[in-house]
């Protein structure tokens, strides 16, 4: 059906205690495209995204069944080290959460964790990734300042740079612009459009216009179920399901 499928979610069910959060999810996410997961709040889109890099493991009450194949390997039932799987996916959260360190170390952290400790190598990479998110000129003179001192928009770009620095293949973004001003949001969106030539991007959003601006592929969720999925053109111009239609008309959020 689709040419290069990067992530294939098959019969995924997730429970928090007795609550059935994700119901029989079957989704395919194409490689090097922007896939937008949208839907009203509480529909499970964030949870679906977090199960992709198994951050759901952090909740001791969560139970998962089904499969998530990434490049053909089922990451829910694998002997592979979970840290390697997570490293493959950069995460951008709703609000920036800079690590409690200075700007330099925020990016160096992931590299050091994976064993890259050479000072000159770190310097070069950090400049490279800060340039990539258009942050270098703003922070080059204060790399040793605490990351928390940056503005929210700058922090979010720092978090993106931090995620890119560990060389992921996939970027998971959970409403990454919801706490940002319009200009910073635009920077992030433009960055995504640039990055999709090298990365598979999964973006969770409830901003319809944002989805229309940058999506290649759309997954529409409602109450823990996938209602409809397809290319952006199919979904936005010719939705099949009634729920999708009314959501696109703005009848519910």
Partner 1 sequence: MSKVSLTRAVRFKRIQVSRHLRDKMNSAWMLFTMVIVVVMPLILLIGLYLKSAMLLNQHSIFHLLFSKEWKPLSGEFGFFPFIVSSVWVTVVALLISAPVCLLTSIHLTQYAKKWVLSIMHPVIDMLAGIPSVIFGVWGILVIVPAIGNYVAPFFGKTVSGYSILAGAIVLSIMIIPFILNILIEIFKTIPVELSEASLSLGASKWQTIKFVLVKKAFPGIVSAFGLGMSRAFGETIAVLMVVGNVTQIPTGVFQPGYPLPALIANNYGEMLSVPLYDSALMLAALILFVVVLVFNFASRLLIVRYERHF
Residue numbers at the binding site for partner 1 (CB under 8 A) = 50, 53, 55, 58, 60-61, 83-84, 86-87, 89-91, 93-95, 97, 99-102, 109-110, 113-114, 146, 148, 159, 162-163, 166, 172
CA distance 196 to 192: 6
Give the C-alpha distances (Å, rounded to integers) separating 99 from 105, 111, 148, 182, 195: 9, 14, 8, 24, 23
Nearer to partner 1, 62 or 219 (CB): 62
Smallest separation (angstroms) from partner 1 to the CB of 126 = 14
Smallest separation (angstroms) from partner 1 to the CB of 32 = 20
* Residue 231 exposed, middle or buried by CB count within 10 Å (0-12, 13-18, 19+): middle
Nearer to partner 1, 150 or 235 (CB): 150
Nearer to partner 1, 114 or 231 (CB): 114
In the chain, where do the E strands start and end?
A: 5-16, 19-30, 34-38, 62-70, 73-74, 89-92, 170-174, 200-205, 217-222, 225-231
- Give buried/exposed letters for 127-140 (b at 16+ CB in 10 A, else e): eebbebbebbeebe
Nearer to partner 1, 49 or 235 (CB): 49
Smallest separation (angstroms) from partner 1 to the CB of 106 = 10
Nearer to partner 1, 117 or 249 (CB): 117
Smallest separation (angstroms) from partner 1 to the CB of 177 = 16
Helices (H), 17-59: 45-52
Residues linked to residue 65 through DSSP beta bridges, in sequence order: 13
| Helix (H), strand (E) counts: the chain | 10, 10
Smallest separation (angstroms) from partner 1 to the CB of 149 = 9
Helix/strand/coil for 85: helix
Smallest separation (angstroms) from partner 1 to the CB of 164 = 11
Smallest separation (angstroms) from partner 1 to the CB of 144 = 10
Nearer to partner 1, 68 or 226 (CB): 68
- Give buried/exposed letters for 60-95 (b at 16+ CB in 10 A, else e): eebebebebbbeeeebbeeeeeeeebbbbbbbbbee
Nearer to partner 1, 39 or 163 (CB): 163
- Using alpha carbons only, how large is the chain's radius of gyration in Å? 18
């Amino acid at each position: 059906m689709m040419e290069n499928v990067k992530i294939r979610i098959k019969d995924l069910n997730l429970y928090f205690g007795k609550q059935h959060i994700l119901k029989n999810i079957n989704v395919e996410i194409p490689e090097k495209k922007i896939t937008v997961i949208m839907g009203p709040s509480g529909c499970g889109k964030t949870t679906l995204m977090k199960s992709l890099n198994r951050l759901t493991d952090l909740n001791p009450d969560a139970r998962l069944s089904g499969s998530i194949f990434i490049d053909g390997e089922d990451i829910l039932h694998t002997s592979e080290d979970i840290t390697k799987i997570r490293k493959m996916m950069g995460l951008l959260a709703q609000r920036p959460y800079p690590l409690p360190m200075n700007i330099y170390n925020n990016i160096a952290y992931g590299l050091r964790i994976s064993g890259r400790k050479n000072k000159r190598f770190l310097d070069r990479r950090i400049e490279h990734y800060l340039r990539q998110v258009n942050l270098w000129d703003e922070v080059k003179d204060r790399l040793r300042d605490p990351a928390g001192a940056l503005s929210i928009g700058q922090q979010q770009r720092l978090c993106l740079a931090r995620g890119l620095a560990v060389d992921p293949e996939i970027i998971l973004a959970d409403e990454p612009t919801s706490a940002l001003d319009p200009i910073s949001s635009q920077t992030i969106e433009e960055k995504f459009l640039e990055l999709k030539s090298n990365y598979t991007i999964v973006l969770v959003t409830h901003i319809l216009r944002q989805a229309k601006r940058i999506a290649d592929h759309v997954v529409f969720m409602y109450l823990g179920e996938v209602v409809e999925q397809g290319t952006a053109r199919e979904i936005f111009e010719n939705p099949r399901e009634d729920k999708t239609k009314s959501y696109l008309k703005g009848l519910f959020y």
